[in-house]
Amino acid sequence: MFVKIEQKKVFLEILEQIQEQIKAGAWSAGDKLPSERVLSEELGVSRTAVREAIRALEIIGLVRCVQGEGNFLAEDLTRCLMQPLSMMFALSGTGVRQVQQLRHALEVETARLAAVERSEAELLQLEQIVNRMETSKDEQERAELDRQLHYRIAEAARSPMILSILYAASHLIENLIIGIRVSIMTYDSGFAMIDSQHRAILAAIRLKDAKLAARCMDEHMEQVESYLMHLEKANPNN
């Protein structure tokens, strides 16, 4: 019969055109894009519409807006999901348990991939982190190293998609790690188990044994989840 007439919102069309320009390689990371006035003139729309489109891109993290200077394409696309993800998490009342589930899923895979993809330099760095974590006496520093270890593994996995999601959830994960370590101190009075699991993961990555690395990370995550259950039992909120 009749084809539905599609009347997109103007700013969506602008969005598409800008995306196409980026995909076509007209602009690359960090570039300054045309001023809002120029864009509005070239596209034949008002500055308002252009601003809405650019605002949308800013929200997503694709564009950085600097007053008095201009609008720039983001340099680092891997971190660009943070804003929307964290907002969604905040609003949908995501609990620690769900954050841990996501982490479990992603980090098993990063361990698997890192075992294959890691460079020698990355391996060295991972080993340094683990060593420092075992010798340090400052719990705050140890927690920070714990966090770093997981991120360095994720970076060594060379999977930008997974990495960007991990980054997006990063501050949630950080709280998670701290909470878990508190739980461990309370109920277990020691990190021997955690440290040995870190060592096992590292050993598998050193051997480039993907399956083993995945299994070790899986065990680590399960251990973490058991601590989490202690925490939830003692502290049913959240």
Partner DNA sequence: GATTGGGCGGTTGACAGACCACTCGCCGCG
Partner DNA sequence: CGCGGCGAGTGGTCTGTCAACCGCCCAATC
C-beta neighbour count of 207 within 10 angstroms: 11
For tokens 């995306």, name the residue. 19
40 or 159: whose CB is closer to DNA? 40
- Round to whole Å and give the CA distance between 205 and 115: 4
What does 195 interact with, of DNA, a copy of itself, none (CB < 5 to 8 A by kind)?
A: none
User: Applying CB under 7 A, which of residues 4, 25, 68, 92 lies at the interface with DNA?
Assistant: 68
User: Applying CB under 7 A, which of residues 1, 3, 66, 91 lies at the interface with DNA?
Assistant: 66
Closest CA relative to residue 162, chosen from 109, 222, 91, 92: 109
What does 126 interact with, of a copy of itself, DNA, none (CB < 5 to 8 A by kind)?
A: none
For tokens 């973490």, name the residue. 224
Binding flag, residue 57, DNA (CB under 7 A): no
Do 156 and 122 contact (CB within 8 A), yes or no?
Answer: yes
- Round to whole Å and give the CA distance between 56 and 85: 15
Binding flag, residue 185, DNA (CB under 7 A): no
21 or 170: whose CB is closer to DNA? 21
User: Applying CB under 7 A, which of residues 21, 70, 83, 223 lies at the interface with DNA?
Assistant: 70
Q: What angle do CA 52, 53, 57 make, to 5 degrees?
A: 115
Tell me the one-letter amino acid at 169. A
Residues 112-131, mask of contacts with a copy of itself (x by CB under 8 A)? -x------------------
133 or 163: whose CB is closer to a copy of itself? 163
- Round to whole Å and give the CA distance between 44 and 52: 15
DSSP lists the bridge partners of residue 65 as: 71
- Round to whole Å and give the CA distance between 156 and 100: 21
Binding flag, residue 56, DNA (CB under 7 A): no
- Round to whole Å and give the CA distance between 198 and 210: 15
Q: How far is the CB of 144 from a copy of itself (least distance, A)?
A: 24
What does 88 interact with, of DNA, a copy of itself, none (CB < 5 to 8 A by kind)?
A: a copy of itself
User: Applying CB under 7 A, which of residues 15, 71, 179, 213 lies at the interface with DNA?
Assistant: 71
Helix (H) or strand (E) holding 176, with range, is helix 170-187
Residue numbers of the site for a copy of itself (CB under 8 A)? 11, 19, 22-23, 48, 51-52, 55-56, 59-62, 77-78, 80-81, 83-85, 87-94, 98-99, 101-102, 104-106, 108-110, 113, 159-162, 164-165, 214, 218
